Amino acid sequence: MNLNLLFSLAAILVLGCVGYFVPNAGLQMFFGVILPYIAVLTFLCGVIWRVMKWAKSPVPFRIPTTCGQQQSLPWIKQNKIDNPSTTTGVIIRMFFEIFLFRSLFRNTKAEIKDGDKISYEWEIFLWVGALAFHYSFLTVLVRHLRFFFEDTLLKEKLFFVGIIETLDGFFQIGLPIVLISGFVLLAAVLFLLSRRVLNPQVKYISLAADYFPLLLIAGIAATGLWMRYIERVDVTAIKQITLGIVSFNWTSIDVMKSVSGTFYLHLFFICTLLIYFPFSKLMHAAGVFLSPTRNLANNSRMVRHINPWNPEVKVHSYESYENDFREKMIEAGLPVDKES
Amino acid sequence: MGLITLIEEKRSKIVKEWFKLTIKTYPKEKSDFFKKKKDSMANPVGNTLSKSLEDILKGLTDDVENNEMAKILDPSVRLRAVQEFAPSSAVSYIFFLKNVIRDILKKDLTKEIEKELLIFESKIDRVSLIAFDIYMGCREQIFTYKANHVKERTLKLLEKADLLCEVPEVGAEIIPHNVYLNGGFDDK
Amino acid sequence: MVDVVKPEEMIKIDPTPPSTNWMDVPPDFSPGKFPYPSQAKSLEAVGFPNAREWSPADEDWKLPENWQQIIHEGFKERLDKYRSLKVFMDSCVRCGACADKCHFFIGTGDPKNMPVLRAELLRSIYRNDFTTIGKMLGKFAGARKLTPAVIKEWFSYFYQCTECRRCSVFCPYGIDTAEITMMARELLHLLGLSIHWIMDPVSNCNRTGNHLGIQPQNFKEIIEFFCEDIEEITGVTLNPSFNRKGAEVLFITPSGDAFADPGTYSFMGYLMLFEHIGLDYTLSTYASEGGNFGLFTSSEMMKRLNAKMYREAERLGVKWILGGECGHMWRVINQYMGTMNGPANFLEAPVSPITGTKFENARDTKMVHIAEFTADLIKNNKLNLDPSRNDHLKVTYHDSCNPARGMGMLDEPRFVLENVCNNFHDMPESTIRENTFCCGSGSGLNTEEIMDLRLRGGLPRANAVKYVHEKHGVNMLSCVCAIDRAVLPPLMDYWVPGVDVCGLHELVGNALVMEGEIEREMDLRMEDLPGKEGDSDE
């Protein structure tokens, strides 16, 4: 029995029921306006609080994991990205780490392929899945900007939203244009989830806290797709609500009542995610920036790194050493500081 | 058709079944990883086992000499000799082959084949005895390492040459340990 | 046939039900499953708490009365002192990329040897003690209460990690299990839980200057033995100096090189090299240990032992320090020494007196690795080398974990190897350089009572050696680490018989054509050189 998975599923179901049924019981104002404010506030404050908490602890030692040749003699070619000795190198290393998941990509190497070839390639999918997940999530987020800004502003200032939408809709399958990112997101989440359920090792290490956010994001993606392609919800009304939230000029309760329950479910899931985010492993998004094995240059033999709490310690001095062994040292012809 | 030809025909199926049974001798959490198909550098245990089983079966059907068989057996027995098995479990996997073959060839067991199979099974018994010799050899090797551990060797040397310091509070005995005496094992 | 019991049914298969949550699986402390505990006197000698005689096999570990408080406060203190610990406690998403990167997991299959789970052993307590969600949701948030069983589990599994950092290479957030293991071991030491093979060298080193407790006059004697052997092999007389004030360079190498084969041959190699180039150097008996087992106990202890290097360099008035072949010694020097015990302003930025090369990368710490030093000599044609003397060897190179992943010294030793021997073959790419597999006995685990575990943990390394042994006929595994030189010989003997182990500078010593030397008939092991033995039968 996978109790952790069941627990998470149950939690999502309960949340789903709350999000779908409760708003229509006359609580549209709370779920459509107040809760999103609370959620965004919690998210922002929570993330800042967590990062501050991390940053409060010093980095006493310079401990980069060196994944390539060090800076050494001038004729030895340094791997300036995987073993950086300068800030520029570190920035490039962090760029690859954050945008391309370089370390995770290393996972895919299999060199000696004896026998069954295909099964060895399997691991590349963790990297592909992770990339697909994060980038489609980002695209979906950017596309949602049009719900929060007036069309004119969007066209002038936030032209990249349009660009992304064009790229995103590249695969035209009839009408409406299937905006591919939503599907990619859902597929990637389901893939990551299936890994946790099917791969015995990953299953063994998975906690409820690992299933829950995946299920939650799956819920968000599914409700979004449902609204767009199946239910065809009233986008104008929704946009009125969202624009109202952003401009602190809330729309009328009638408009809010006219919107489908799926929208409130979608929004409720998002609020849950925002509130949950700072208190969970999702903080890895910020953690990766602060990881001392990645964000430091390997230059501690060139420049002294300072430890703010460098302790005073008792060292067994040469003097006491010589006191212990003086006679024997003299006898052996070893130089001593004090003759007897 | 003779037994050997039958085995040749179903070789890969036999090896697969045999591997499955062998892997089952490991606790579940461990076997999950060992049976994973991976680069031989990334999963040496699984790869060594599956290759070894294949070789043993080939050795049996080719009817190789004892010496040759010992060489073929060595990698898998050597592996299992350090894997926390009781001696019986460590070499048990050789016997599994008997049932695997009987199960897979169930439908083909004519009287003739049956007779051949009995002979073949006695060969498997012989292989298992060789395996046990190798197992003991491996264990003895490990005991030797424990006994001749580098530090002990050098300690003796140093002691002989009166080179060691006896700092009273610290002592130079780096191989002390009468843990087994005060660790609750005295009665064993 | 009636009631035939199948063989697979006769074998007792592990009764543990497979789906048991890892938190409910107790560690195994039957004989051979744990390293021996340290003796009370070793702990007392360096002022560590709760010194007593005890054994992991006992039910009662004689923990101090307020042990839970000690752990809680110790944990909190370390969270406040180390950002690494805090970030690593919070950031893991349990993606499993690290799972099969650990040599102990690959060799044992034990899930608690997956780096992620090893860290969870600590994280589960962190969540319980320091996070709201953990306190609220307990097990579902991956939290659990601190019980004696948890402490026992820590002891078992944090002494099954060699702090090799291989998992950290593959982690998308750079989570370094070595860092986590160090913290866990510090916490265990607060309760007086340590192992003899770490604590005895630590207390010896503190007092006598080296792990084994070799006294000064004996250290000198050992080196003089080496010189006699060198004279017999090469005909050249060497006169190394000890504790000599005013020398230009202080040379420090792990004491393992002085007392254990095959490290001794590397020591001979160093001595010959220095003689050949006429280096103005001295050895110290007070700082006669390059290695630092303090690293495996606590950062304070590491600092105490490491401090001797600079102190001795200052007392002797040398210009800079040259360091021998050692793994974790170089982790300490490269990543901790300057921070802990610097700035070493009484020294000068290292310049090779032979080639004039300034070692820019060591300008602050003022300590140069001998492989860097030798590579520079060879590049500048300062060494007269006859690599054919190593022709009977087919050599491969084991990147020791710490110089590889805590420093990045990958090409220097390879350059030296390519110049001192004619047959060099690297192992498969996924097992060398930053991906190198540990010897299975690092971080103080090279003790014989856990030999089976070490052989399992060393299997991935041995397996890669086996590959080049079969493919290229490799018969010599070279390395730059004293622990490697001590533990790889039995590992090779068991898994890849026919492959011997040597240090880098043993091969240098063999190839080095010294001024005034006689025709060599023996290598540094005093074994006949093939084709040179008397030359009469050719």
Cα distance between residue C418 and residue C421, in whole Å: 6
Q: From C361, C393, C401, C353, select the one nearest C377 (Cα to Cα).
A: C353
Residue B166 has pLDDT above 70, yes or no: no
Residue indicated by tokens 């409720």? A268
pTM: 0.91
Q: How many CB atoms lie within 10 A of CB A55?
A: 13
Q: Count of domains in chain B?
A: 2
Least confident of A11-15, A25-29, B175-179, C325-329: B175-179
Strand C281-283 to C476-479 pairing? unpaired
Of the candidates C44, C215, C430, which has its C-beta nearest B165's C-beta?
C215
Residue of C nearest to B40 (CA): C463
Tens-level pLDDT at each residue, chain C (538 residues): 445 666 666 555 544 445 678 888 888 898 888 999 999 999 999 999 999 999 999 999 999 999 999 999 999 999 999 999 999 999 999 998 998 899 999 998 889 999 999 999 999 999 999 998 899 888 888 999 999 999 999 999 999 999 999 999 999 999 999 999 999 999 999 999 999 999 989 998 988 888 888 889 989 999 999 999 999 999 999 999 999 999 999 999 999 898 888 999 999 999 999 999 999 999 999 999 999 999 999 999 999 999 999 999 999 999 999 999 999 999 999 999 999 998 999 999 999 999 999 999 999 999 999 999 999 999 999 999 999 999 999 999 999 999 999 999 999 999 999 999 999 999 998 899 999 999 999 999 988 889 999 999 999 999 999 999 999 999 999 999 999 999 999 999 999 999 999 999 999 999 999 999 999 999 999 999 987 655 444 3
DSSP one-letter code for C519? P
Residues B98 and B155 in one domain: no
Does any domain span residue B187? no
Residues B51 and B106 in one domain: yes
Give A183-188 contacts, CB < 8 A, sequence gap 24+. Answer: A183/A225, A184/A132, A184/A136, A185/A133, A185/A136, A185/A137, A185/A140, A185/A217, A185/A221, A186/A218, A186/A221, A186/A222, A186/A225, A187/A132, A188/A129, A188/A130, A188/A132, A188/A133, A188/A136
Of all residues in chain B, the percent with pLDDT exceeding 90 is 53
Cα distance between residue C252 and residue C370, in whole Å: 10
Contact check, Cβ <8 Å, A111/B39: yes
Cα distance between residue C196 and residue C218, in whole Å: 24
Residue C25 sits at the vertex; the CA angle it makes with C23 and C29, to the nearest 5 degrees, is 125
Of the candidates B26, B98, B167, which has its C-beta nearest C109's C-beta?
B26
Residues B12 and B42 in one domain: yes
In the prediction, which pLDDT does B155 show? 59
DSSP run (H or E) holding C395: strand C395-398
Q: Does B178 touch chain C (CB under 8 A)?
A: no
The domain ranges of chain C are 21-194, 202-511
Residues B120 and B168 in one domain: no
In the prediction, which pLDDT does C130 show? 95
Cα distance between residue C67 and residue C191, in whole Å: 7
One-letter amino acid of C473: G
Q: Which of B16, B26, B28, B32 to mutate to test the interface with A (most CBs of A within 10 A)?
A: B32
Interhelix angle A318-331/C216-234, rounded to 10 degrees, is 60
Contact status, residue C286 vs residue A318, Cβ threshold 8 Å: yes
Cα distance between residue C429 and residue C359, in whole Å: 29
Residue indicated by tokens 């006598």? C208
Rounded to two decimals, the ipTM of the complex is 0.91
In the prediction, which pLDDT does C17 show? 42
Contacts of C207 in chain B (CB under 8 A): 167, 170
Contact check, Cβ <8 Å, A83/C357: no
Contact status, residue B58 vs residue B7, Cβ threshold 8 Å: no
Contacts of A79 (CB under 8 A, 6+ apart): A67, A68, A69, C408
In the prediction, which pLDDT does A169 show? 60
3-state DSSP assignment of residue C477: strand
DSSP one-letter code for C195? B
Cα distance between residue B134 and residue C328, in whole Å: 36
pLDDT in tens, A152-209: 666 666 666 666 666 666 555 544 555 688 899 999 999 999 999 988 888 889 999 9
Cα distance between residue C128 and residue C134, in whole Å: 5
Residues B38 and B66 in one domain: yes
Cα distance between residue B95 and residue B22, in whole Å: 10
Cα distance between residue C477 and residue C396, in whole Å: 5
Residues B76 and B164 in one domain: no
In the prediction, which pLDDT does C16 show? 43
Does any domain span residue B188? no
Residues B132 and B155 in one domain: no
Contact check, Cβ <8 Å, C83/A292: yes
Outline which parts of chain A fall under CATH 1.20.950.20.
Answer: 3-309
Cα distance between residue B106 and residue A186, in whole Å: 48
In the prediction, which pLDDT does A116 show? 46
Contact status, residue C417 vs residue C498, Cβ threshold 8 Å: no
CATH T-level fold of A3-309:
Fumarate Reductase Cytochrome B subunit (1.20.950)
Cα distance between residue C18 and residue B31, in whole Å: 10
In the prediction, which pLDDT does B144 show? 86
Q: C21-194: which CATH number, 1.10.443, 1.10.1060, 3.40.1350, 3.40.50?
A: 1.10.1060
In the prediction, which pLDDT does B167 show? 46
Residue C477 sits at the vertex; the CA angle it makes with B56 and C97, to the nearest 5 degrees, is 70
Does any domain span residue B109? yes
Contacts of C173 in chain A (CB under 8 A): 284, 287-288, 291, 294
Contact status, residue C168 vs residue C405, Cβ threshold 8 Å: yes
- Output A313 or B152, whichever has higher pLDDT: A313
A contact residues 200-239, partner B, Cβ 8 Å cutoff:
200-201, 204
Residue of A nearest to C121 (CA): A205
The Cα of A283 is separated from the nearest Cα of chain B by a number of Å equal to: 30
Contacts of A34 (CB under 8 A, 6+ apart): none
Q: Does B176 touch chain C (CB under 8 A)?
A: yes
Residue A119 has pLDDT above 50, yes or no: no
B contact residues 139-168, partner C, Cβ 8 Å cutoff:
141-142, 145-146, 149-154, 158, 161, 163-165, 167
What residue numbers bound the domain in which B72 lies?
A: 3-147
Cα distance between residue B44 and residue B76, in whole Å: 11
Residue A109 has pLDDT above 70, yes or no: no
Residue of B nearest to A111 (CA): B39
Contact check, Cβ <8 Å, B99/C451: no
Torsion angle, alpha carbons of C110, C111, C115, C117, to 10: -140
